[in-house]
Structure 1
Amino acid sequence: MSAAQVIVDGLWRCLCPSVDAGFLAKAVARRDPFKPRALRLPSPAFRCLSPVYGPSQQYRALHSRRQATQIAKESRKGNTHRRDEGDSAPNVSLLARTAPPYKELKSATTAMIYESLREFCSGIRGTAECRSAAERVAVFIKHLIEDRGEEPNTLMYEALVLANADTQGSAEAVKELLKEMRDTRMQWSSSVYHYALLTLAVHPDYLLRNTILAEMRERWIESDPQGIQSVAIGLLRDGQYELALEKLDHMCRQDLPVEPWVYDLFIYVLGQMGFVDEAVRIVHHRTSLAMEVPLNVWYFVLDICSQAMHYEGTKYAWNKTVQPCLLSPSDGIALNVINCASRQGDSGLVMEAIQYISSRDTKLGKEHFEGLMDSYMAVGDVENALNVLCIMNDAGMLPGRGSTRSVYLALKRSAGLVDQAIQALFSLKARTIVPIAAFNVVIEGAVGCGQFDKALDLYRRVREVCKEGPDAVTFQPLFEACRQPAVVDFLKSEMEAFSLTRGGPIDRALVNVHSRYGDHVLALRFFTDAMRSGGTFDAWATFNTVANREMVLALLERCLREGDDAAWSVLEACKEKGMDLTADARHLVDKIHAEASEQVKGNTGKGGGHVSQTVGAASLHDSRPSMRAASF
């Protein structure tokens, strides 16, 4: 009959620490003790202790009656493994810094070697020194086991687990080491778990981390701040950003110490992944704790915030670093700051960025002034925005239509700004030279918000504002919005008076207006002139566009209703340009014929006669299968 098993849990060990020694002594006294296993090191970085370097029989049993008694004694002394009172700290430090071929090992005492391992575990804690110490740890442990006859113990496992925090280590090696400790019933310590968590921060393994945390809870081992920090970094490396932030937030709320480089790591990773709000909050938290933020971190924050148009972070980083002349960002970052501030209407920050760029002897371009103009229009300051165009003109940068889009959009959204813009034009004219681009954008904005008459009246005063007179861009919005043939003809004559060449959009407007509201013969003439070789329509690389299609259909419908056979010539001309409207023309003929039939029935019932359009449409309907085109 087998003896009853006694369960020794964490609480019992807390109440009676000597129970470990007692039960361990009984375990080694059993008739059939467990079979020991060799210390396996699967990681390539620590192959020096692998069985390939010697037969496994060379290793002694991990547990014996003598060792059990020794461990029991050491546990009562706080697990101070063979530490001699006479060891000097300088000798231990010298041994800890030894390099290949490790000649100092032969002359060092066993206690000194153990003390160097303790110094490695307590002093390095996964810093950059692990890279140079990992190989040394493996050599020391191999020397202790093979040359000094030492048995594998907890300190050796602790050092090996921590050594895997090197970039050449792995989570799989840690997993095997922990499994070996369980299989050999090695004495566990809190340090083993914390070193494993630190290693998993470098080589993330979500499942292994959860297993370790679960075992720590079962053994009533609480994570110290270093362990919580390692878990947070591991979650961050795993891409579980919310859980990582939750761990970091827990440490901050509990006033647990967080190393500065951990904050830096979170800022870099979150910023690169697009979580700019969270990165900025961490920076705010660091500054609230009076912690110094490195300049390279500030540079990164300013860069990502300005790129992401994060105004709060951009302004905060700029005021903290660039204003006091602590940081000199690149011209690209300064331009991003201008664009970010212009969206929020912060003209002050835009001006600071422009002055900073000027102080670097960098020539200002249109993009810098456009950002300043955008910042003024964001708050409805139309006069200063138009003044920026005047400054650009004075500096030799002729502003074009693309530079005035923010002004146009603001005028289009708010009709009340149109009057202010007109007043600003005449006010600026009294102080400086107003470029035609400023005049054009006010006309375009007035047309865009439905104030065509006001735009036309302003055009008539163009000479009062701009001495050089209008250009083709001045007329384009007027032509596109005009619905009166007489006004269109007036604008056409104005362009001819200023010796301006009509472009395709203006010719399209002429055809549209006369097709819908004026004389279709004039519309046909404008269309013919534009389509012939060298005309504005002929110059287009692609004629088959939506706007051109609507223009041609309007002309076709008018010709069909007027009974003009030129409709088929229009069809053939468009077909040569890649726009086949045959099906649309047939649909128009059927539509007009049906309307004519309904009108004939209505007039017959009332005793009336046919209308002229009915006869014209009917005749076209009869002749449509031929689709013969008349020459232009």
Structure 2
Amino acid sequence: MNAGRLAIDPFWQCICPSWTLATSRTAARLVTRPRRPTFQCLNAPRVRQKSDAEIRHYKNLGRHKEDRSTPVLSPFATSAPQRPPRQPRPPEEKQKPPEPETSIDWQNEPTQYIYNHMRGAAIDGKVSLVRFLAELLVKERREKPSVQLYNMLILSNVGYQEGMGWRVGELIEDMEKDGLSPDGGTCHAGLKVFAVHPDHILRADILHYMSKHWIQVTEDGAHDVAAGLLREGLYEQGLERLDMMRREDMRISPWLLDMAVWILCEAGEIQEAYRIMRQRVDSAEINISRTLWLFFLDKASENHHHAATALVWTAQVEQHFINPASGVCLNVLATAAQAADASLATDVFTHLSKRSATFQPIHYELLISTYLATDPPDLQRALTILTIMALEKVEPTRAETRALYLYMRDEPESLPEAITVFRELNDQGRKIPIAALNVIVESYVHQANLDDAMKLYKQMHTFAPETSGAQTSFANIETFNLLLKACREVDPPDEHQASFLVSELLALRVTPTALTYDRLILLFMRAGTKNIQRSGKAKDPENCTKLRARGLELLDWSFRHFTEMRPLGWLPRFGTLEDLSVALASVGDTRCWDVLQVAEDERQNISGWDVKGGAVRRNVERAWETSMAKEPISNSPSESERAAAAA
């Protein structure tokens, strides 16, 4: 039958579209690019035996090919982008290729032995040795260049030290010069090289060539394709390849799955890594690397992926297969708190206690957050954690009670329950830390419930353990600062309770802080302003005089607390300075300029004054002008006003 007529037969073209008249006459070309002068890797001998100098020249062939400055084009595309030219290194900087195994007398070895040894060297990625043996076979043994030889030359580039991905294209071009067509072995060797030296353009062209010529990708080749895609960062395509391999019932090697999980975790794709690990666990795969489990737990807990973290903890940590570090355990605890997994959080504490780890306040804080995030919230256990901290001699602070405060401030009915829980724990001999009571006071303050806050303050001494003896109170400065804030938040501000708290603070010898003075300034300033506003609305002249005098007296107390801060090296906050200066200016008190001057002098120590100080001055000037239009200048309450206030 005529070959040309067979190639153009319509039925034959339908079955095999790639078989055309052109392909029936010549071998299919993978390399379709402009011809350029090149030095072929393999050349069959023509006339005579080569001299020793020529043999040395062929032995150094690898060095010449690597130093080519001509750009290498894609061997599968006609218009592929050119690579930047390789700059040849100076002769003294060139690294000589490794010498072939000198213990073997290659001249006396049989040809089949050389082929077998060459095949093993190609698998090991020994580029120089494979090229030397190939030249030996062609030049000395007069072997014809074959697809088998070129396949081994291509495969030898799989090594990460000597191998280069761009050599694959040049070797395929040399094959075509010798009249050889790439086969399945050539394509799979290239795919294996690109799994180590990724080049998505060449890989895509090889896959296209295989599809066009009906060359099926083997299971090993599918592994190489997926590995190359993942290493290039083409995660979606790599995962699609893995899914396709599963659909085709291919056995996926553990090394590929390990690499996929590792790369995805490094990229932050924890959900996809978890999907792979979940499938491996569900399929009862054994001998998964413990190093991979530890790495997966580290990344999953770091990214607060609850499902992945719980998987590793249940399958590995609880079975005592791996022992994560304390820092990883802290991340696991934070993940459990975010996901409201009280069981996992408790397991972490149990695991750490077995290794006699020293618990830090952050561990207890996360455990409290976990109990409060459960549905329904477990307030009793969360409060109990504070007493456990005191038992472990870790005194809780305001930081560890933030989760409790956020919960109780929005749930007023939980406050009596919290007091009852602390009462029961105290009856059991547990030490109730002052921070635990302060968080209840703070919740009352947020609700502007001064009465219940003061009631709890007066009962604080009853929460002291019986072994500590009789105590009048063990309130600290934070307790008083919270109560002073409560006195200010009620309407009208309660200066009488504030005066009582100041006397209590002095009697208990509690050292005040800058915040204490700041809140006293605000409290008396607002109380004074409130009285002055009420005096303007009073119909009784005598009552109007008393209210105004009382208001001026409270403003005077506020200014005195301001002056008491100066010798101690403290300054009120930005908002306090503005409110005080404006309040004094609104009643025509010249001391407003003193406050403003202090703020100007200490502007570098007051946050925000450089930006908003000008606006404060304008507000003070505006208040001063308004007061001057109503009443004369005064420096302090007059004697008559003081007497009226005292009466």
Into which bin does the TM-score normalised by the smaller protein fall? 0.7 to 0.9
Q: Alpha-carbon deviations, 1:134-192, whole Å to 9, x = none?
A: 44422321220121011211001100111111112111111211222234331321111
Identify which of 300, 305, 314 aligns with 1:310. 305
List runs of 5+ in structure 1 lacking aligned partners: 26-33, 42-49, 59-97, 125-129, 598-613, 621-632
Corresponding position: 1:522 with 2:557: yes
Give the unaligned 5+ runs of structure 2: 28-34, 43-52, 62-98, 465-470, 529-553, 636-647
Q: Is the 8 A contact 2:265 2:296 kept in 1?
A: yes
**Residue identity opposite 1:270 in structure 2:** L
AA aligned opposite 1:616: P
Instruction: Tell me the secondary structure at the aligned position of residue 631 of structure 2.
Output: helix
> Residues 177 and 481 of structure 1: is their aligned pair in 2 closer, same or farther, counting only changes over 3 Å?
farther
Q: Tell me which residue corresponds to 1:383.
A: 380
Write out per-residue CA displacement over residues 459-515 of structure 1, whole angstroms, 9 at most, x where no aligned residue.
221112235520001122222243222222222222122111221112111111211
Contact 1:414-1:449 within 8 A present in 2 as well: no
- Residue deviations 1:45-70 (CA, integer Å, cap 9, x gap): xxxxx9894379x9xxxxxxxxxxxx
Question: Which amino acid letter does the alignment assign opposite residue 334 of structure 2?
Answer: N
Deviation for aligned residue 1:280: 1.0
How far apart are 1:217 and its partner, in Å?
Answer: 2.2
Letter in 2 for 1:138: R
> How far off its partner does 1:39 sit?
2.9
- Report the CA distance between 1:583 and its aligned residue: 5.6
| Secondary structure in 1 matching 2:436 | helix
Quote the Cα distance in structure 2 between the aligned partners of 1:406 and 1:52: 80
The residue aligned with 1:79 is none
> Is structure 2 residue 484 aligned with structure 1 residue 479?
yes
Aligned to 1:399: 396
With 520-529 and 386-395 compared, the bigger mean Cα shift is at: 386-395
- Structure 1 residue corresponding to 2:350, chosen from 355, 363, 367: 355
CA gap 1:118/1:557 in 2 versus in 1, 3 angstroms: closer
Query: Contact conserved, 2:445 with 2:453, CA < 8 A, in 1?
Result: yes
1:78 match: none
SS in structure 2 of the partner of residue 461 of structure 1: helix
Contact 2:157 2:164 in 1 (8 A): yes
1:571 to 586, 589, 596: 596
Q: Indicate the residue corresponding to 1:616 in structure 2.
A: 632
Partner of 2:542: none
Q: Does the 8 Å CA contact 2:210/2:216 hold for their aligned counterparts?
A: yes
> 1: distance between equivalents of 2:319 and 2:4?
75
Cα deviation for residue 23 of structure 1 reads 5.2
Tell me, in whole angstroms, the C-alpha distance in 1 between the residues paired with 2:58 and 2:310: 67
1:508 aligns with 2:514: no
2:504 is aligned to 494
Q: Of residues 615, 619, 635 in structure 2, which corresponds to 1:587?
A: 619
Aligned AA (1:510): L
1:573 maps to amino acid: V
Aligned positions of 1:4-153 closer than 5 A:
39-40=40-41, 53-54=56-57, 100-101=101-102, 103=104, 105-117=106-118, 124=123, 130-131=124-125, 133-153=126-146
Structure 1 residue identity aligned to 2:362: E
* Mapped contact 1:411–1:446 kept (Cα < 8 A): no
Contact map agreement 1:342 1:374 (CA 8 A) in 2: yes
Give yes or no for the alignment of 1:410 onto 2:416: no
Paired residue total: 526
Deviations 1:384-434 (A, max 9, x none): 122111112122222222222222222234333323222222122211221
Is the Cα contact below 8 Å between 1:520 and 1:559 reproduced in 2?
Answer: yes
Say if 1:149 and 1:572 are closer, same or farther in 2 by CA, change over 3 A.
Answer: same
Following TM superposition, by how much is the alpha carbon of 1:520 offset from its aligned partner in structure 2, in angstroms?
0.4
- Among candidates 162, 173, 177, match of residue 171 of structure 2: 177
Describe how 1:186-585 pairs up with structure 2 within 5 A.
186-292=180-286, 293-379=288-374, 380-431=377-428, 432-466=430-464, 467=471, 469-483=474-488, 484=493, 485-518=495-528, 519-531=554-566, 533-534=567-568, 538-539=569-570, 543=571, 548-578=573-603, 581=613, 584-585=616-617
Structure 1 vs Structure 2 CA RMSD? 3.5
Instruction: Measure the CA separation in 2 of the matches of 1:119 and 1:15.
Output: 37
In the TM superposition, what is the alpha-carbon distance from 1:287 to its structure 2 partner? 1.6
Contact 2:585/2:627 (CA < 8 Å) preserved in 1?
Answer: no
**Are 2:145 and 2:178, in contact at CA under 8 Å, matched by a contact in 1?**
no
Q: Deviations over 1:301-352 (max 9, x none)?
A: 1111122221111111011111111112222222222222222232322222
Find the aligned partners of 1:470 and 1:36 in 2 and give their Cα distance. Answer: 92
Determine helix, strand or coil for the equivalent of 2:387.
Answer: helix
The one-letter code sitting in structure 2 at the alignment partner of 1:363 is T
Whichever residue aligns with residue 157 of structure 2, its letter is: N
Deviation by residue 1:507-557 (Cα, 9 ceiling, x = unmatched) = 1111112112221011111111112x22xxx24xxx5xxx72221221122
Q: Is the 8 A contact 1:338 1:349 kept in 2?
A: yes
Moved more, 174-183 or 152-161: 174-183
- In 2, the alpha carbon distance for the partners of 1:16 and 1:384 equals 74
- Post-superposition offset of 1:294: 1.8
Cα offset, 1:234, TM superposition: 1.1
Q: Which residue number in structure 2 is paired with residue 80 of structure 1?
A: none
Identity of aligned residues (%): 27
CA offsets, 1:242-291, max 9 Å, x none?
Answer: 22112112212222221110000001111111111111111011122222
- Choose 513-522 or 476-485, whichever is displaced more: 476-485
Give the Cα–Cα distance (whole angstroms) in 1 for the partners of residues 232 and 284 of structure 2.
30
The residue number in structure 1 matching 2:47 is: none
